[in-house]
Amino acid sequence: MALNKWSSVGNMRERQSAVLPQTLLGRFRLWLINFMNWRRVRGIARSLRGRPLVILVPILWFSIFFLLPFLFVLKISFAESLLAQPPFSALLHWSSDGILQLRLNVGNFLMLLEDSLYFSALINSIKVAAISAFLTLFIGYPMALGISRVQSSWRLVLLMLVILPFWTSFLIRVYAWIGLLKNNGLLNNLLLWIGIIDKPLPLLHSDFALYIGIVYSYLPFMVLPLYATLVKLDQSLLEAAEDLGCRPLSAFWRVTFPLSLPGVIAGSLLVFIPAVGEFVIPDLLGGPDSLMIGKILWTEFFNNRDWPVASAIAVLMLLLLVVPMMLFQRIQDRPDNHGNGLRNEL
C-alpha cells in the first residue's frame, strides 16, 4: 500500500517537472500566465456581488431554526413544571422592588441522575444502538463488498435498489414488520407450517423485533458509505497480496478491511447516533420493558406534559451524542473523502 502511494506521488512530481520550463524566458512566461490567472480569479471574486446574501440566508435560517432552539431547550431544562400554558415557569422574574431574579431549577437534572429509571434507559439506549450498529455492519458489509465487485453496469442498479427503501416511508416499513412478526403473522405461520415450532413465538414486542426494526431501517445508511470506500479500493493491492501468498480471508482482514475503515466508522455512526434517540421503532416493535431514552422523552412530553424534564433529557442526550457527532462531522469534512457515500449516492 505504502509503495503504491509513493509511486503515485512520484508520478505527479514527474508530470509537474515536465511542465516546468527550463529557460528563463519560459519561466517568465509562466509567471505572466499565473499572474493573469490570479487577476482573473480576483475579478471573479469581486464580481460575485450576490455572495454575502447567498451565504447569509442559510446561515441565518439555520441559526434561527436549528441553533437557537437548543438554547431554549437548555433554558427550559432549568425551569419548573407548572400547570399552565405553556407548562413551565419563567427563569427571569422582576419582583416589585426592582430586583431581577434568576431562578434556576436543577431539580430536573438531579432527578435524572437519582432516579435509576432514566439512567438505565440511557445505558440501554447506548447498548441497543451499539449492538444495532454492529449487526447492521455485519449484514451491510458483505452487501457493500458484493455490490462493489460486480460489473459496473450492474452496480448502479444494485445500489439504487438499496437506496429505494430509504426513500419510501419509514413508518410504513416499520409497520410492515408488525404484520410479519405478529403471533399470527407470516413468520410464525411459516415456522408452524414447516414444523420447527408447535406454538407461535412471541416475536413482536421483543428485543428481537427491536433489533430487526433498527437494522432494517438503517441498513442503507451503512451500505452507502461502505460502498463508497470499497469501490475506490485499488484491486491491484489484493492481487499483490495474492501473489505474495496471502489467502483470500487473510487478504480481506489485512488489506480490504483496514482500507475501508473510514466507511465502517461513518456507517456505524450514521446508524448509532439516530438509533440512540429512536422513538418509533422501540414504541411499535420493542417490548414494554425495553426502555429507550427517546421513548422516555416522548412519554414525559406527551403523556406527563412535563416539558422541563423532557428538555433536561434532551440536554443529557445531546451531551452524550456530541462526541460521536463531531467525529462524524470530521469524517464528512475530510477533503479526500468528499464522496462519503451519503453525499454522493443519496
Partner 1 sequence: MRRPWFLFTMLSFGYAFLYGPIISLVVYSFNKSRLVTVWGGFSTHWYRELLHDEQILSAAWLSLKIASLNACLAVILGLFAGFSLARFGRFRGRGFLSGMVGAPLVMPDVILGLSMLLLFVAMQQTFGWPQTRGMTTILLAHVTFSAAYVTVIVQSRLVDMDVSLEEAAMDLGARPWKVFLLITLPVIVPAISAGWLLAFTLSLDDLVIASFVSGPGGTTLPMVVYSSVRLGVSPVINALASLILLLVTSGIIITGLLLHRQEKLQKTSEL
Hey, which residues between 129 and 188 contact partner 1 (CB under 8 A)?
139-140, 142-143, 145-147, 149, 158, 160-162, 164-165, 167-173, 175-180, 182, 184-186
Q: Using CB under 8 A, which residues numbered 248 to 307 contact partner 1?
A: 248, 269-270, 273-274, 276-280, 284, 294, 297-298, 301-302, 307
Q: Residue 346 interacts with partner 1 (CB under 8 A)?
A: yes
Q: Which is nearer to partner 1, 7 or 236 (CB)?
A: 236
Q: Which stretch binds partner 1 (CB under 8 A): 4-12, 99-107, 255-263, 337-345?
A: 337-345
CB of 317 to partner 1, least distance (A): 6
Ordered DSSP codes for 215-270: HHHHHHHHHHHHHHHHHTS-HHHHHHHHHTT--HHHHIIIIIHHHTHHHHHHHHHH
Burial of 165 (0-12, 13-18, 19+ CB in 10 A): middle
Q: Residue 193 interacts with partner 1 (CB under 8 A)?
A: no
Q: Residue 314 interacts with partner 1 (CB under 8 A)?
A: yes
Q: Residue 50 interacts with partner 1 (CB under 8 A)?
A: yes
Structural contact between residues 227 and 144, judged by C-beta atoms closer than 8 angstroms: yes
Q: How far is CA 257 from CA 36, 211, 230, 249, 272, in A?
A: 47, 25, 9, 10, 20
Q: Which is nearer to partner 1, 68 or 261 (CB)?
A: 68
CB of 102 to partner 1, least distance (A): 17
Q: Using CB under 8 A, which residues numbered 208 to 227 contact partner 1?
A: 216, 219
Q: How far apart are CA 296 and CA 118, in angstroms?
A: 8
The residue type found at 297 is L
Q: Residue 40 interacts with partner 1 (CB under 8 A)?
A: yes
Q: Residue 44 interacts with partner 1 (CB under 8 A)?
A: yes
Q: Which is nearer to partner 1, 97 or 336 (CB)?
A: 336
Structural contact between residues 287 and 203, judged by C-beta atoms closer than 8 angstroms: no
Q: Which is nearer to partner 1, 12 or 161 (CB)?
A: 161
H/E stretch holding 10 reads helix 2-19
Q: Which stretch binds partner 1 (CB under 8 A): 2-10, 19-27, 111-119, 335-343?
A: 335-343
Of positions 51, 93, 127, 334, contacts partner 1 by CB under 8 A: 51
Number of alpha helices (DSSP H) and beta strands (DSSP E) in the chain: 18, 2
Q: Which stretch binds partner 1 (CB under 8 A): 20-28, 67-75, 92-100, 255-263?
A: 67-75
Q: How far apart are CA 230 and CA 228, in angstroms?
A: 6
H helices of the chain, in order, are 2-19, 24-47, 51-62, 68-76, 107-114, 116-149, 152-167, 170-181, 186-194, 207-231, 235-243, 248-251, 257-259, 261-276, 280-284, 293-298, 307-333, 342-345
Structural contact between residues 81 and 111, judged by C-beta atoms closer than 8 angstroms: no
Q: Using CB under 8 A, which residues numbered 69 to 108 contact partner 1?
A: 69-70, 72-73, 75-76, 86
Under rule CB under 8 A, how many of the chain's residues touch partner 1? Answer: 95
CB of 33 to partner 1, least distance (A): 14
Q: Residue 329 interacts with partner 1 (CB under 8 A)?
A: yes
Grid cell in block for residue 184: 399470527
CB of 261 to partner 1, least distance (A): 19
